[in-house]
Structure 1
């Protein structure tokens, strides 16, 4: 028998937490807090597996990254298999100031990495956790206008890029998107907001 209930969305409001399989407890703390600077905020047993611990870290936005630990899981540094349905990587937001220090700070620990990678709208650097899971440090090349989010800038930059037939979003699209959002969201007393040359 068919259900006549209309289809409705389950509206999300952000990522609550991400849980990853980690190595042993101390290796996990040393990586997530000792390398990535995430405060270790609490722990308890894995409520679905009493052989495992469950560590909770604050990635910097008050949400949670949690790690299942097991004292029998030692660091392997082998790349996690890339298979359909698997998580490819975890991207963590860092400031431009931190981003440009990342290669030197990873090198000091002997952690292999990709080096800075140009992504047009952001800069990225890639390396793996102690179990071979790919981590990305991502740093936006822009700040959104007051009252707007990064996503607001990205959708406008995408529309501009597509209209121009460009391959990917780059700095010019971002600058034009920010200008458009400011015009749309902030008032002015000027009769015209057109570009001008006062020189």
Structure 2
């Protein structure tokens, strides 16, 4: 048995229509489906919702639930806001920079470009407070992935014992940290 792929990833939103319009305008995603019920199908709980689905490319689907009878959305106060995010891949650095300019021209605060060695990223928030990342491959992505792949188990083992960042893959952020 093996998982084929992710069917969809679902998050909560404050306003379904605002969310659809924002993702269409800012990330050029198509609105593909809406489902609304008064009862949750899996639990049968009386909890009206609007469930929207957006095409995130290549069969990937990003979904949201608007839950008008639930308390306002919040964040886990013990998790830094940079941790939980959705990352989308774009073709190349030119497209990444075009998205950055497009987002900024539409009033979105964008952090980056950040060089992660294997890929480069920008970061920003959607109107629901979800952190988003757009990432493009580095020209040396394949070689760097092979290097990182070779040390992943050693890194995981060291981390599990020490809870300190192993340095096996420090080469990935060497340029960003001024070491290269």
TM-score of the two chains, using structure 2 as the length reference: 0.68
- For 1:157, the equivalent position in structure 2 comes to 147
**Could you say what secondary structure the match of 1:168 adopts?**
helix
Runs of 4 or more consecutive aligned structure 1 residues displaced over 6 Å after TM superposition: none
- Aligned counterpart, 1:183: none
Partner in structure 1 of residue 110 of structure 2: 113
In structure 2, the partner of 1:168 is 171
Paired residues of 1:25 and 1:71 also in contact (CA < 8 A)? no
Q: Report 1 or 2 for greater relative contact order, CA contacts < 8 Å, sequence distance ≥ 6.
A: 2
2:31 to 34, 40, 61: 40
CA distance in 2, matches of 1:15, 1:132: 23
Aligned to 1:6: none
Name 1:186's counterpart in structure 2.
none
Q: Rg larger in 1 or in 2?
A: 1
Which stretch of structure 1 is more off in the superposition, 25-34 or 53-62?
A: 25-34
Matched length: 151
Range that drifts further, 36-45 or 134-143? 134-143
Distance 1:169 1:13, change over 3 A: farther
Q: Which residue does the alignment assign to 1:13?
A: 4
Name the CA shift for 1:129/1:160 in 2 (closer, same or farther; >3 Å): same
SS of equivalent to 2:21: helix
SS across alignment from 1:15: coil
- The root-mean-square deviation of aligned C-alpha atoms, in Å, is 3.5
Give the distance between the partners of 1:139 and 1:82, measured in 2 at CA.
Answer: 30
Give the match for residue 182 of structure 1. Answer: none
Unaligned regions of 5+ residues in structure 1, if any?
1-9, 145-149, 171-199
Match of 2:13 among 22, 32, 41: 22
Unaligned ranges ≥5, structure 2: 41-45, 153-167, 174-180
8 Å CA contact 1:161, 1:169 repeated in 2? no
